[in-house]
Amino acid sequence: MSFTPTVDPDKCEGCEECVDICPMEVFEMQDEKSVPVNAEDCEGCESCVEVCESGAITVTED
Ligand code: SF4
Ligand code: SF4
C-alpha cells in the first residue's frame, strides 16, 4: 500500500503548517508554496490534510 500526497498550489496559502507537522518531512516550501518533494515517503497519517486550513492537500491511497 502506498500513499500520494498532493498540494493544489492555487489553494496553498504558504502557512508552512504541513511542513512542520509531517513526520516524514514530505513537504518543502518553494516560492511560498508547499511542494511534496518526498511524496514517496508518505505514510498516510493525514496530519497534513487536517492541519491545512485552506484544504490544499489531498492524500490518495494507491
Ligand atoms: S498547510 Fe496548506 S496552506 Fe499551509 S503551506 Fe501547507 S498546503 Fe499550504
Ligand atoms: S499524510 Fe502524513 S506522512 Fe503523508 S504527507 Fe501528510 S503528514 Fe506527511
Tell me the CATH number at 43. 3.30.70.20
Distance 5 CA to ligand 1 centre (A): 12
What confidence score (pLDDT) does residue 1 get?
82
d(Cα 32, Cα 60) in Å, to the nearest integer? Answer: 24
pLDDT at 30: 98
Higher pLDDT, 62 or 15: 15
Closest residue by CA, ligand 1 atom 1: 52
Mean confidence (pLDDT) of the chain: 98
CB burial readout 8-33, b (16+ within 10 A) else e: eeeebeebebbbeebebebbeeeeeb
Give Cβ neighbours of residue 38 (< 8 Å, ≥ 6 apart): 24, 25, 26, 27, 28
What would the mean pLDDT of 20-47 be, rounded to a whole number? Answer: 98
Asked if residue 18 has its Cβ within 6 Å of ligand 1, the reply is yes
Domains of the chain: total = 1
User: Range of 50's domain?
Assistant: 3-61
